[in-house]
Structure 1
Amino acid sequence: MPGLVKYIQLPIRGNDDLAEGVTLPGDYDSISIYVYESAEAYQAAMKSPAGALLQEDSLKIMDMDRNVAIPVYYGQDFHSGIAREEGQSWTRPEETK
């Protein structure tokens, strides 16, 4: 995707793994984090041919009624503390920026 800096996919643990009294807000299996250079870069990516293909594929493989998108602002160190041992992660190589 044009403008994509980092992609992280983390599996969600079951309610049994949570502290007592804490529950998950739905029946989700993972959280995907897409980090773009800016909101404008994200909007341009979604309007690109690659964005159109992503939308088309997403409709085929995802339950869109259960899909939640939450746009957030992050600082430079946003993903430095996220553990990767159980998830997938991709970072754009420096030479392609």
Structure 2
Amino acid sequence: MEAAQFFSLDMRVGQIVRVEDFPEARRPAWKLFVEFGDGIGLLPTSAQVTNYSAEELQGRLVVAAINLGTKQVGNFLSQCLVLGAITDDGSVALLEVPKTARPGDPIA
């Protein structure tokens, strides 16, 4: 990946405001609704982060890529990609965001 490609990626802080079951997904996943603040708003995403409970996800600040386009996941439209590290056991450890960050803040 060239530097220009990397810097064209729009990564922002978002806050998960709603978590729903996603039984139609081929792999275990949640439907997440992530708020990015004024100018961006609420974006849905499907995330294979079932190692977190709905309660752990609700209200959590996350890092997400918001300009990758829309992806059809089963009967659901995913409009952002929540970022995390893939651990040895294959689960996703969501990136930590400082409490001082606000939804919509750009990631540098």
TM-score, normalization by structure 2: 0.26
Q: Which has the larger radius of gyration?
A: 1
TM-score, normalization by structure 1: 0.27
Higher helix fraction (1 or 2): 1
